[in-house]
Structure 1
């Protein structure tokens, strides 16, 4: 997976394709996969936006999800149709890694049926019928950009349709007012740890914070078979706090990463 992502990034190009929707352009933060074409583009417009942070479903005609981020601001979106030789998963992974290398923080990440119904994401959340496909062929990610752009969000949604065409949808939302504290979900923290092998939380430089201890302990206890190393200046304090919240001490080793913040590494 990582090899594919690096290959895609190396081959990506910011040059517009002749087949792009007229007047469209890439978002600067997300590299375009080589030979991808822009099939839908929505220029900056002010609106109130709701980004789900949970699996979506419809009950009595109303869209439902466990959490959300709601704000007013400027939104720009780009939808790419991917070339046949590259998958929606590869494009999604390359975009995620590019954003994380720029310091973006994951808030919510779901894949396949854990996201809910693709038809709801396509029509209700993004208002783009091109994004409707098989529920098990989708992935959604919401990220917060690093300071000084930390009042901006980026949403990624990838899908493979029944005709095997693959799409990547990218939205950047710049809020008019400060977004305040936004915490990821426990399942998202676990997904990142299992998918990438590491979980880096550079802002957690001090003593354990209760909300984060709760999130991390719940995430780790979603899969009690995992063992991890914990690194950072306050690693032992965090380890003790996680044990106090029900994570078995045998699952938590002390690591040796010297970078600022709190770091977890999956022990194979």
Structure 2
């Protein structure tokens, strides 16, 4: 995992030889992939913004999704066309890892057809026709930066178009008022666990919290073949509570006290 992360980050550079859209610039929180070219840039503007927390579809002319983050804030976005030697998946993964290394929290993550229709993401969510491609070649992620920047959200959207051109869209949203309590979806927790091999909850330092207990148990029960270790100061209490929520005891073992909060690790 770490060696892959370092390899991917080596593909990034603060400078690029590509010719960018005049007046455009990178967002400091996400380094750009070498030779990627900025093809769309929207400078900071104050807007009312809605970020989906579920697969999107259109019913009777209205966008529908299971959940959302809705707030007013300052939005800045940049869209990169990627060099032919790198895929949209590579760029998306490296951007995600760069943000997670800054302790950003994943709120919603979907890939391919699980996201819904690419045309809706491109035209309705981001207002950028360049991002329209095959539903099977897309990925979307919404993250929340760590405190003291926890009123900032970052949206990533990657796509490969039918002409094989690949794009990565990065959008930063700085809310004008506190965002309050935002929780990830259970499916996102499962995807993160499978992709990174672990889940860290440094703020869950006390006995099991009912909201998080429901989210974590639902995530683990979306794939009943997985086995995990549960670590932290209250690891056994969390393990017993997860069993009470329907996670089979045979799928979990108790680990040590490794740092603050709850830690769940995938057992290969």
**TM-score > 0.5 by shorter chain:** yes
| Residue aligned with 1:70, SS | strand
Answer whether contact 2:54 2:115 (CA < 8 A) is retained: yes
How far did residue 173 of structure 1 move? 0.0
In the superposition, the TM-score normalised over structure 1's length comes to 0.97
Answer whether contact 1:8 1:33 (CA < 8 A) is retained: no
Structure 2: distance between partners of 1:111 and 1:257? 34
Match of 1:86 in 2: 86
Answer whether contact 1:122 1:130 (CA < 8 A) is retained: yes
In the alignment, structure 1 residue 6 sits paired with structure 2 residue 6: yes
Give structure 1 stretches of 5+ with no counterpart.
Answer: none
Match of 2:149 in 1: 149
Answer whether contact 2:16 2:35 (CA < 8 A) is retained: no
| Residue aligned with 1:263, SS | strand
| Residue aligned with 2:155, SS | strand
Match of 1:198 in 2: 198
> What number of residue pairs does the alignment pair up?
268
| Residue aligned with 2:10, SS | helix
Structure 1: distance between partners of 2:35 and 2:230? 41
Match of 2:40 in 1: 40
In the alignment, structure 1 residue 181 sits paired with structure 2 residue 178: no
Pair 156,257 (structure 1): closer, same or farther in 2 beyond 3 Å: farther
How far did residue 7 of structure 1 move? 2.1
Pair 2,85 (structure 1): closer, same or farther in 2 beyond 3 Å: farther
Structure 1: distance between partners of 2:193 and 2:11? 27
Structure 2: distance between partners of 1:202 and 1:138? 31
Match of 2:264 in 1: 264
More displaced stretch, 1-10 vs 254-263: 1-10
Answer whether contact 2:16 2:34 (CA < 8 A) is retained: no
Pair 145,68 (structure 1): closer, same or farther in 2 beyond 3 Å: same
Answer whether contact 2:139 2:159 (CA < 8 A) is retained: yes
Structure 1: distance between partners of 2:191 and 2:231? 19
Pair 134,2 (structure 1): closer, same or farther in 2 beyond 3 Å: farther
